[in-house]
Chain A
């Protein structure tokens, strides 16, 4: 990530406006956010939620890239849009509304097509959030983000179901945790995470409280590699393996190959299960049917949940608080399950 961070002091006005969140992540993180430059690719239902959340929280610079025009069906899931906007460019309609949410944020919009964008366009950003892209587009954006060392979040929506893919390349997070009986030990904790340093700190107010400051190195895989080699083998216990939500193999399968029928989806997903080291028997028939029916469908409550989770992680890594998501999350809007897998 390019770290041209000019952390000036926050003004009294900013402290008053951001009072309730500064109390959570501190002044330094808030100042870091002010200097960040974020690119949002496509402003659909999830994109709208992400834009709202990060702009309210005081991100410094946001650029929205989207060449779509407003369609009638967008009105049912995107709150920036009104009936009179149908047919207009989405970025033109959304731009004044995003600005109005927080006039301090420096907003730019771009209605050019993603396909026309050269590598140089992406250079200036610290972070990219891409929504509603197909496999090849994701691979293309990821190639550039890797080359330029930019953090990437990818998310998409399939009705009641949704996913988040994260590629921060390599990221060291610092976390503070109250020390319990057993001390945290330096070393590998999972396939993508290694604890590299543990320091302790005594609480200012209560000398009996000791905090551990833990540095964790998170490593990530590019999207293309994840699709090819993703497996859960050795990462879960037998019991956990049996309980993996159908939405995981369904999503991976759909991102790999778009099927032309529900039967083909089923066939592909069984193959995906085998690759992931899962028994095809975990697949629920009803989920296959519904997933196929709801592919690419946008839904406001799901967008709010996924948009909230992505925006929260973006804020966390810009403020360098809390450990980031790593690396593939699915959401099941029926059971409200939201597991995080290291693929």
Chain B
């Protein structure tokens, strides 16, 4: 028997040949990406183009099975392709780069693929690829994992829900006053140490914070706001100590932030009516021992050890400031910065009677580390590659009559949602009619001859758009959706005379065009989103600009849901809870309840995906998930 005898029994010879002629794009060569690459090769996809911008790190090796200790610091995409040569039969093309880089990966490049597999680790890139798949109507298999939890969702443009049809959780934020004056959890002290203290001492260009008068302080207590502002000014003095390089002044820093500042806080009596009062450090506890000692990073240290470590690490960072141009950024893998933040947070926790955390634990919180394991990645990648057969219509005995017959999946047993099924497999939902990406706009590509790109003014664009689609130029607004900038509207026309190049609208930019005219029923033309491309012809005129042939329909311009955006978040949360309970105790009536919930909800698709969304919340891997304000 031959290499392909197994798969032939499953999909048949003809479909295997189709698979061998299929060209796919795999974005990400990390946890899910390594697994997907292996699966797609064994399935004999004809061409696999693999994109990743990252290099290999030691902490990847527990799950990214194509990489070894010797590969650390090497690019993931090219290393992965080398690693699979032994069992590979496909044409493999690796790219080192960011998928959102429009120079390296313009829209027409995406257009070459029959199917896209997302194996990404951040929300921005997921959204971007989703948009590309929508522009070009290419099926997208979206996936993600976080620890034991994982999901996989096929997205068929115009037919099923897209990635942005459900609301994604944004980074968690805390009010300024909780962080600066009244912490009650370890995370408050960690945010204070990282985003405030460390940033002010080592990474700030001196005092940007207190100037903003309209800042939302999270409190209306005038005394407290005054105190916060004053404290910020005083921090400038501390930064001067750091810059002086004189490490005999370190006790002064400790005294200021862990004694004087706390004493000032205690004077604001309002704050302590219902809270436990903080206890400042004792001046006798502050010693000037700067020896660098090795302590167990996974243990909890005594307060004396914390203070000693804080002093020695501050001394070390002072020295580094001179060498590093007076600027050090927090990096979870930079041991000095991590230990500074850990000790500062723990000393503050001690003062506020909050439990302390080990350096190991603080690394996860401050560095926003998402736990990741080989097994969940293998399962999710397996599901993603498997469902591609039905998406590409290669299973003759399991043909779908419509794309919403396809299944998405998420883990339920490992995620503790259900004890009687390992996976949940709901069929796909239709696009959410309020989705800003796939339903609220029309979409197309605007092809501009490259020779006239340079001279083309925004005004010219407005005119040809108005001519083509019957827009009212007086009511037209144009937004650069990539940078979220307003370019033109009825009372802002100062950019109209500038060229596209001057206002940084370049090939790869996406603009949103809206005619704000509404009739008496609140109806208006559906907004139009255009992807800007340069067409490779050199003798073109403005009239050669190619706009998509679209009939733009009338739609309701302002909907009640939009006005109530705030409360819908709450509604979603309630729905999610409902369904989690539902899955657990009453498997049986799930569909019935689902339907009932759908009737109650204006957004008929949301509840189906409760867990899925919860996962997304966790897979957002941004540098600064914890923000001050």
Tell me how far the C-beta of A9 lies from the nearest C-beta in chain B, rounded to whole angstroms: 9
Residues from 477 to 509 in B contacting A, C-beta threshold 8 Å: none
Q: Is B9's CB under 8 angstroms from A293's CB? A: yes
Q: What residues of B have a CB within 8 angstroms of the CB of A52 in the complex?
A: 65, 374, 378
* A/B pair count, beta carbons within 8 Å: 210
Most interface-central of B354, B360, B376, B386 (chain A CB within 10 A):
B386
Which residues in chain B, 42-74, are within 8 Å of chain A measured between CB atoms? 42-44, 58-59, 61-63, 65, 68
* Complex contact B425–A205 (CB within 8 A): no
Known A-B contacts A72-B2, A101-B65, A340-B413; A53 and B378 likewise in contact (beta carbons under 8 Å): yes
How long is the Cα–Cα vector from A141 to B306 in the complex, in angstroms?
Answer: 55
Q: Kindly state whether residue A201 has any CB partner on chain B within 8 Å.
A: no
Known: A21-B371, A337-B425, A338-B421. A72 touches B3 (CB 8 A): yes
> Known contacts being A27-B298, A290-B397, A336-B407, is A21 close to B378, with CB within 8 Å?
no
Report whether B421 and A308 are in contact in the complex, using a CB–CB cutoff of 8 Å.
no
B87 A81 Cβ-Cβ under 8 A = yes
Decide if A57 touches B62 in the complex (CB within 8 Å): yes
Q: How many Å lie between the Cα of A322 and that of B148 in the bound state?
A: 11
B397 near A286 with CB under 8 A, answer yes
* Chain A: minimal CB distance from B587 (Å): 7
Q: Which of A157-210 contact B (CB under 8 A)?
A: 159-160, 175, 177, 190, 204-206
Across the two chains, which residue of chain B brings its CB closest to A333? B386
For residue A307, which residues in chain B have a CB less than 8 angstroms away from its CB? 378
**A322 vs B147: C-alpha distance when bound (angstroms):** 13
Smallest CB gap from B427: residue in A: A335
Q: Name the CB-closest residue of B to A304.
A: B382
- One digit per residue, 1 when the CB lies within 8 angstroms of any chain B CB and 0 when it does not, for chain A 308-330 equals 11011001000000110100010
| Contact in complex: B376, A56 (CB < 8 Å) | no
Among residues of B, the one whose C-beta sits closest to the C-beta of A330 is: B422
Our pick among B38, B298, B398 for the contact of A15 (Cβ within 8 Å) is: B298
> Considering only CB atoms, which chain B residue lies closest to A290 in the complex?
B397
Say yes or no: A79-B42 contact (C-beta < 8 A), given A294-B10, A336-B409: yes
Q: Which of B381-413 contact A (CB under 8 A)?
A: 381-383, 385-387, 390, 395, 397-398, 407, 409, 413
Instruction: Contact check, B62 vs A18: say whether CB atoms are below 8 A apart.
Output: yes
Docked complex Cα distance between A206 and B84 (Å): 47
Q: Do A20 and B63 form a contact, CB below 8 Å, given A72-B3, A301-B39?
A: yes
User: Contact between A312 and B414 (Cβ–Cβ < 8 Å)?
Assistant: yes
A58 at the interface (CB under 8 A from B): yes
Does B10 lie within 8 Å of A297, measured CB to CB?
A: yes
Number of interface residues of B (CB under 8 A): 72
Given A75-B87, A334-B390, A334-B398: A301 touches B422 (CB 8 Å cut-off): no
A287 to chain B, nearest CB (A): 9
| Contact of B378 with A308 in the complex, beta carbons under 8 Å | yes
List chain A residues, Cβ under 8 A from B589.
Answer: 239
- What count of chain A residues pass the 8 Å CB interface test? 76
Residues in chain B near residue A312, CB distance under 8 A: 148, 373, 375-376, 379, 414
A305 adjacent to B373 (CB under 8 Å): no
Residues on the A chain within 8 Å of B543, using CB: none
User: Are B186 and A205 in contact (CB-based, < 8 A)?
Assistant: yes
B546: interface (CB < 8 Å): no
How near does chain B come to A135, taking the closest CB pair, in angstroms?
22
CB of A205 within 8 A of CB of B355, answer yes
B residues adjacent to A (C-beta < 8 A): 1-7, 9-10, 35, 38-39, 41-44, 58-59, 61-63, 65, 68, 84, 86-87, 147-148, 185-187, 297-298, 354-355, 360, 364, 369-379, 381-383, 385-387, 390, 395, 397-398, 407, 409, 413-414, 416, 419-423, 425, 587-589
Q: Closest 8 CB pairs between A and B?
A: A304-B382, A300-B42, A308-B379, A308-B378, A305-B382, A312-B375, A338-B422, A301-B386
30 pairs from A and B in contact (CB 8 Å cutoff)? A20-B371, A21-B62, A21-B372, A23-B364, A27-B298, A52-B378, A53-B378, A56-B62, A56-B65, A57-B62, A58-B62, A75-B3, A159-B9, A190-B419, A205-B187, A205-B355, A293-B9, A299-B6, A300-B39, A304-B35, A304-B381, A305-B378, A311-B375, A315-B375, A325-B422, A334-B395, A336-B423, A337-B423, A339-B422, A340-B413
